[in-house]
Chains A and B, each alone.
Chain A
Amino acid sequence: MQQATLNQRKILTSVLAWLIGLMIFFPIFWTILTSFKTEADAIASPPMLFNFSWTTENYTEVLSRSNYFLHFMNSVIISVGSTILALIIAIPAAWSMAFSPTKRTKDVLLWMLSTKMLPPVGVLIPIYLLFREWGLLDTRTGLVIVLTLMNLPIVIWMLYTYFKEIPVDILEAARMDGASLKNEIIYVLTPMAVPGIASTMLLNVILAWNEAFWTLNLTAAKAAPLTAFIASYSSPEGLFYAKLSAASTMAIGPILIMGWFSQKQLVRGLTFGAVK
């Protein structure tokens, strides 16, 4: 009896989870499907599911019209660059907050997180003016800096929660065993923190890859990443749903594949280490 209700519950939650999963995935699925339709089929009503004439002309068209490779490289450089820079700043910061906290440590953390609550558009004008002043508009350097600053609070917060999980006993054991601070960090702390650092890195790359506010507002052509590349197909002068879909598919493809391969790390990252 008990077993039966338990099984029913299990089936119910599985069905629900699948439904929600499909709902979330549907837009991506539809985008990919649309990218293989002709422009006419793409806006056909009622919408066509599989019974349209499949074509790859959107992709050839998009590839010939814009420099996909340039945007792709920009995306890679900006997301990876800002992630590495953020980690370099965040690791020592999180370390000191996790292992030698003071009365105000929690306040500092909350304050950092609170900066994420400000709508970015609130600081667009000052940042835009600064960037113009310093010649950083439409440069990769400028975007790396701005995205580093945007994601730093989250990176520090995540690393802090990971470092917190490392039992202090083990670090103390290393100290008793005669390890210097340097050796303690190299041989004991870092190897134990690697999973946490990796998930933080992955999540941050994804956030930076998909960031569309600053990348659209601070770039024109040279430094524009894939987000800007997508946006260039949603121009008001015409409805290019199929081409827009093709561009989107090409933009999210790389990050989707990366996410697929690093699922386990990513789940850890997204749940802030709650799942092991």
Chain B
Amino acid sequence: MSSIHLKNVVKRFGEVEVIPPLDLEINDGEFVVFVGPSGCGKSTLLRVISGLEDATEGTIHIDDQEATSMPPGERGLAMVFQSYALYPHMSVRKNISFPLKMAGMDQNEINSRVNEAAKVLNLSDYIDRKPGQLSGGQRQRVAIGRCIVREPTAFLFDEPLSNLDAALRVNMRLEISELHKNLKTTMIYVTHDQVEAMTMADKIVVLRDGYIEQVGSPLDLYNKPDNKFVAGFIGSPKMNFFSGDVAAQYNADSIGIRPEHMDSSTESGKWSGVVKVAEHLGSDTFLHVVLDDLGAALVRVPGDMPVTTGDRVYATPRTNELHRFDAQGKTIKN
């Protein structure tokens, strides 16, 4: 059981305000992902929640209990660091059992919990090795093991997969999702990879310069972004934006259309342009086109479309998938 409530939380480093007053509710059992560009304050926010960093102002409640000035060890939260932060001088077994030892747990109980965690995480064969003798993925598992044995009220992850290669990253992503399904513990996960955010989250918190731009389920953010920033940040490849005359036609300052929300043809369509690069992936074709009067755009065509550089193509935006923004970048609701 653990819900986390932040009220009016502010974090300043000296004069620099990294997190302006911020409210956030995280419900019990939720998988919440913080995303945002580098330097937007994701790690800082996570560290404020963990207690490694004090909130300059505001309050933090964990399970309706005020935790604002509790030391990190007493908050019942476990953290997986980007660097893994394993204890280099301890074996895997010692690493995993460290939090239990600190809690003064009985040795038999410690052993059984560590063995159980090692089995779940496929670490049994490495249990007596030092972290230096493990691969990146194995280290990551040890770091997770060190967290699960404590049965924490919530897990905090700070970009845990960014040091792994692409294939392993996909694997570990699934493992963490599975872990969440099994444990049903609240998890807060920081990443700047929006694919990770989309695939893992129950709820995504999009941050920019410390401000929360939008909170919602992955599909909410994809379908109904509150503003241009979220529209551009969520979704891959990125949404195309146009301004000027074409936007005026739609009574907007600017409009946005996702690459997958345009119908393409070699014969006719609303917008016309010339193919600059065509990427044939088999399953999809990505057309980088220069549209007449509008400029560069990316169009995603399902299946293969036999066109090459220099060909003329036509793209028609699906009107109901078109996003309109005002001069402040806010979404104009239909």
The chain A residues found within 8 Å of chain B, CB to CB, are 167, 169-170, 172-180, 183, 187-188, 191-192
Top 3 A-B residue pairs of the complex, sorted by shortest distance between their CB atoms: A178-B73, A177-B99, A169-B85
Q: How far is the CA of A98 from the CA of B78 in the complex (A)?
A: 25
Of the A-B pairs whose beta carbons lie under 8 Å apart in the complex, a sample of 13, sorted by A's number, is A169-B85, A170-B88, A172-B72, A172-B79, A173-B79, A173-B86, A173-B87, A175-B72, A176-B52, A176-B72, A177-B98, A177-B99, A179-B102
Query: B: which residues have CB within 8 A of A?
Result: 50, 52, 71-74, 77-79, 81, 83, 85-89, 98-99, 102-103, 146, 150
**Cβ contact of A177, chosen from B73, B88, B89, cutoff 8 A:** B73
Residues of B within 8 A of A176 (CB): 50, 52, 72-73, 77-79
From A167, A178, A180, A191, give the contact of B99 (CB < 8 A).
A178
B99 contacts which chain A residues (CB < 8 A)? 177-178
Name A's interface SS. helix
Inter-chain contacts of A188 with B (CB < 8 A): 87
**B52 lies within 8 A of A175 (CB):** yes
A167 to B81, CA, bound (A): 12
Contact between chains at B102 and A183 (CB < 8 Å): yes
Q: Is the pair A175, B73 in contact by a Cβ cutoff of 8 Å?
A: yes
Contacts of B89 on A, CB cut-off 8 Å? 191-192
A166 to chain B: closest residue by CB: B88
Q: How far is the CA of A22 from the CA of B98 in the complex (A)?
A: 50
B34 to chain A, nearest CB (A): 18
Please determine whether B85 and A175 come into contact, CB atoms closer than 8 angstroms. Answer: no
Tell me the bound Cα distance from A275 to B214 in angstroms. Answer: 49
- Our pick among A172, A183, A187, A192 for the contact of B81 (Cβ within 8 Å) is A172
Asked if residues B98 and A175 are in contact (CB atoms below 8 Å), the reply is no
In the bound assembly, the distance between CA atoms of A167 and B86 in angstroms comes to 10
CB–CB A178/B81 < 8 A:
no
Of all chain A residues, the one with the shortest Cβ separation from B158 is: A169
CB-nearest residue of chain B relative to A173? B85
Q: Does the CB pair A167–B85 fall under 8 Å?
A: yes
B13 → chain A closest CB, angstroms? 13
In the complex the two chains form, what is the Cα distance from A173 to B102 in whole Å?
12
Contact (Cβ within 8 A) B88 A192: yes
CA distance A173 to B276 in the complex (A): 50
Chain B residues near A175 (CB-CB < 8 A): 52, 71-73
The residues of B that contact A167 with a CB separation of less than 8 Å are 83, 85
Chain B residue nearest in CB terms to A169: B85
Q: How far is the CB of A65 from chain B (nearest CB, A)?
A: 51
Q: Which residues of A contact B83 (CB under 8 A)?
A: 167, 169
A178 vs B85: C-alpha distance in the bound complex, in angstroms?
15
**Cα of A176 to Cα of B84 in the assembled complex, Å:** 13
Contact assessment for A173 and B81 in the assembled complex, using a CB-CB cutoff below 8 Å: yes
